[in-house]
A and B are shown apart, each in its own frame.
Chain A
């Protein structure tokens, strides 16, 4: 859902479950999408990226899905672990300036 002020969308899961974090992007001209993980007190850490000519890309325990028709991006985390607890941001980019536009972020909490 939408975040207002200091209230991030939150997702709480049990350890071992699969997590799905969603992101809606706004610019239909964007051709590159990226997911970052930000732990408390740290800078964002790259997780996985995808180009607009793909609709799915898999990494280690993570999968990114891209639906350009509805401008929707999702991050799936398999067998979620307590160390996955963080804020997750999607970002989009397009054009030669390589600028990233970030989404609002989702706070993932993994319960042991």
Chain B
């Protein structure tokens, strides 16, 4: 397994501003992912964070809105840019180790945009 922390745990932001969410893992992992979970909904993959290169985004998500960094094998950030109330969600990072499919999730960042 892996111990994953996210900062901040929650935030209330004004529309038009940006928030950067950090994800820290206690050990090196092969892959890191960012998900969005809108209120009462399931999880939707935003992007795969690639170490040392640009993230791979899913359909409907773009780099200008959700820039992602992954400078090393234990850390990644997701920025939610130019926020609107529709961005109010829980943002979760997950990690995969080795060749297993199993992913472990962080506790999430609950974002409210007013």
Contact = CB atoms under 8 A, between A and B. Distances in A.
Contacts, number: 58
Contact of A46 (B33, B40, B43, B102): B102
Contacts of B15: none
Interface stretch (A12-20, A53-61, A78-86, A95-103): A95-103
B39 interface: yes
A49 B102 contact: yes
Interface residues of B, number: 25
Given A6-B40, A89-B43, A98-B31, A43 B101 contact: no
A89 B104 contact: no
A89 B42 contact: yes
B103 interface: yes
Nearest to A49: B102
A7 B102 CA distance: 28
Contacts of A41: 108, 110
Given A6-B39, A100-B45, A34 B101 contact: yes
Interface in B34-55: 39-45, 48
Interface string B63-106: 00000000000000000000000000000101010000111111
Contacts of A103: 42
Nearest to B90: A43
A8 B40 contact: yes
Given A34-B101, A103-B42, A105-B41, 18 more contacts: A6-B40, A7-B40, A32-B101, A34-B103, A36-B105, A42-B108, A43-B92, A43-B106, A44-B43, A44-B92, A45-B105, A49-B102, A97-B56, A98-B31, A98-B103, A99-B48, A102-B44, A105-B42
Interface of A: 5-8, 32, 34, 36, 41-46, 49, 89, 93, 97-105
